Each structure stands twice: as C-alpha cells, then as structure tokens.
Amino acid sequence: MKILILSFFCLLSCLTWAQTKNTSTEVRDYREVDGKIILDLVVNGEVAGFVLDLAGHTAILPEYVERLKIDENIPGEFKYNEFLYKKVPVVKSVLIGTMAFGNNVFGNGVSAFVLGDESYLRELGVAGIVGGAMFRNVVLTIDRRRKKITTSIPYRPSYMKLDYRTDIEVLPGSAVVCPVTINGTVYSLLFDTWNDGMISMTAEDFARIDGTDGGVAFVMNGYGKSVKITKTKTAVVCDFVKDQLGSVVVAENKELPRSVLGSGILEKGIISIDYQKQKIYFQPFDLVEVKDDVVGDVASSVVPGKLNPITREYFLEHIYDYRKDKEFVFKGDKPVVIDFWATWCGPCMRLIPEMEKMAEKYKDQVLFLKVNADKEKELCSMFNVVALPTLFFIPVGGKPIIETGATPEKYEQIIREQLLKK
C-alpha cells in the first residue's frame, strides 16, 4: 500500500512538472491613442502598430500591403467576405505570411481584410486592426491601469481570482459574448474593445432598458470617428461577473448588429478572456496585489566559451532592438554567432557539438549564442527564419551574415575571415 501511495505522489510530481514546463506567460506594454489600445506586432519581419478590436477581424490599410511584404494576389481564407459584427468597408482579403505578438501569439498564413477608406486609422498612425482570432489559443488579460497585455498558456494569471468569472460564448471570428445584468435583466453583450463607451445597444434592446433620460452622446460606426449623436439612458443597477458597477449610461446605436460592452469596462477592473474554456474573468483593480508570474525560459548570463541559450529579451537588449531602430544596429562590442535551432531538427542537433567546440576555441574573441526556434517565434518571424539550422554571424559595427545548414567547416572560415579580420 505504501508503495502505491509513493508511486501516486511521484506521478503527481511528474504531472505538475510537465504542466509547469508547458506553461508560458508573456507580459507586454501597450499604448493608447485617443482611447484605442495599440499593439506592436511583427508582420513579415516588419514592426507595425495595430488597434486591438476583439469584436473585429484582422485587417490592414491598403498602403500597408506592400510595406508589410504581403502578396496581394494570394487571397485570405475567411469563410465570410465582410466584417461580421460591424459595418466596415473592405476591398478584399489577403494572406499574411507571419504575424506575431511575442511568442505566445503567433500565426502563419493569417487571413486579413484590406480596408476601404478609413482615414481615422491613418490619424491614429496604425497599419490596421488585429481581431480576437489572433488570441484564440491563449488567455488574454487586459490591465488598463498598468497599460499591460498578458498572454498566458494555458491558464489565467494567478492574480485573477478563480471565483470572479462567468461563462461566455465564442462566436465565429472569435468574438466574445458575455452576460451583463442591467436592472435585474441579463443581456448578452458583445465585448467590443473598439467602442469607447460602457454599453451601446441596438434600438430593440435600448427600448427594454428602464432608466432616466441621459441626454445625447456620440457613437462610433465602422472605424471612423465618433460623429453620430444618439439617445442615452442612465440605468440604476449594472452587474458584471461579481462586480456591482452601479448606475451606467447606456447609449442607443441603431446601426449595431448586436448590443456591445465597450472598452469603458476596462476603467473598472482587469479582464481575462479564456477562449478555450469559454470563460471571462473580471475583478476590480485593487481586489488583490497584481504580481506578474512570468513563466518560461529566462535568459541565463552569457558565459564566454559556451554556447549560451538566449531569449528575445536578451536579443533586444544586447544584440539589436528592432522595436526602436529600423536598420540593424548591433549593440555589442564583440562579434557574435547566433544559432537558430530546434530539438526536432536532426542537422541542428548534429551541429550543436561542433558549435560548442568553436565556442571554446574562440572564447576570448567571439560570443556564441543559440535561439530555440520553437520558443522564440517572434525572432524567427522578424528575421524570416524558416529553415533550420540558421546561423547569424555578426561583426562589430556590421550587419548579420546569414547562413543555413550544418556545415561547421564553412562556419569556422566565416568566423576567421569575416568576424576576426584585422
């Protein structure tokens, strides 16, 4: 019996370890312009800003098709030919090669609409819109107070309390519908991060609201500015998840296909959306201490003479920060060799021992680094690393010399003749 109990706890420990190893959390800053959440994504090796619209679809302005190296002759694979939940003029759809927001949010062959005339998006200085479909494989957490976006796999951040949640419905296009109680009646509202207000309703739902006349307000349609004046009501009681929001202003918008919960809810607390389990978490900012629990491989200190594993964060800090500099500017004062590899890649695994020998041989002259391509997807997208192994040879003050394949003799020659030339 004791042996069985010990076996059980050993198995439990192994499962816990495996669960931890398969967990990843990334915390990224975002910026706001005119109340819109803007994320910097890497698209086909180019960094571009996109407005987060969880009730929309990924879409780009026409002038960015060429800038982002998108082949406009390859159509996207949408099952629909227009925006499903708002009126937005589109020209056609295209297929984006790679699109990444960190390493948790990554896509190959991403379908996107090409937008019609949307001058307001140009005023915001963005390339387009990123919709909820990009986040369907992660738990997405938005903290407006800290201006942070957290993407986690497979669980919510630990500071989000388990009992502060409710069920949601995930619609086609990965739009989210959640229950909101107004004056005792439950309404199913589409969560719309483009909409600046708290609650906007169709004419039918608005007529059902019992509230005092709140005067008029501006509303938005499509991706234009807030220009249309509409009626509002002040509802006395509004509850979302476990939070009592008190009285709220409800706006009527006759052009909405369905009623929405806008980004105004982000002023009240933190939201986490678990697309896979179809749950939404919401809690006031000060309910618990917010402490980011970032899990994953942390870049270790780089040791001369070793083949050192590094992360995106190390690359940005010590090699080249592509978020700030358009042209490659090497930050280091010693030549660097970077090996992009993966455990499933046979040539990669055969090359690694040879790279370790070179690292020892040139330890006082060259730094040797390696990047796990399966884990550092944004870096691979940024530099179009599609074949493995791929190696970067970076001279001081120069640009990367890029080679593919497992040819250590050739690589040592590049080190001698290109990195260490006098």
Catalytic sites, residue numbers: 345, 348
Q: What share of the chain is helix, strand, coil (3-state, %, to 5)?
A: 20, 35, 45
Mapped onto helix, strand or coil, the DSSP state of residue 405 is: coil
Other CB atoms within 10 Å distance of the CB of residue 410: 12
Q: Which has the closest alpha carbon to 338: 414, 392, 374, 289?
A: 392
CA angle in degrees (0–180, nearest 5) for 293-264-47: 60
CB environment 125-156: b (16+ within 10 A), e (fewer): ebbbbbbbbbbebbbbbbbbeeebbbbbbebb
Mapped onto helix, strand or coil, the DSSP state of residue 268 is: coil
Encoded tokens for 16 = 């816990």
Q: Which has the closest alpha carbon to 72: 47, 99, 100, 97?
A: 97
Rg (CA), the chain: 25
Q: Which has the closest alpha carbon to 80: 93, 98, 99, 66?
A: 93
First to last CA, the chain: 71
Strands 390-394 and 367-372: unpaired
CB environment 219-242: b (16+ within 10 A), e (fewer): bbbbbeebeeebbbbebeebbbbe
What is the rounded CA–CA span in Å between residue 332 and residue 43? 26
Task: Tell how many helices (H) and how many strands (E) occur in the chain.
Answer: 8, 28
Mapped onto helix, strand or coil, the DSSP state of residue 337 is: strand
Other CB atoms within 10 Å distance of the CB of residue 364: 8
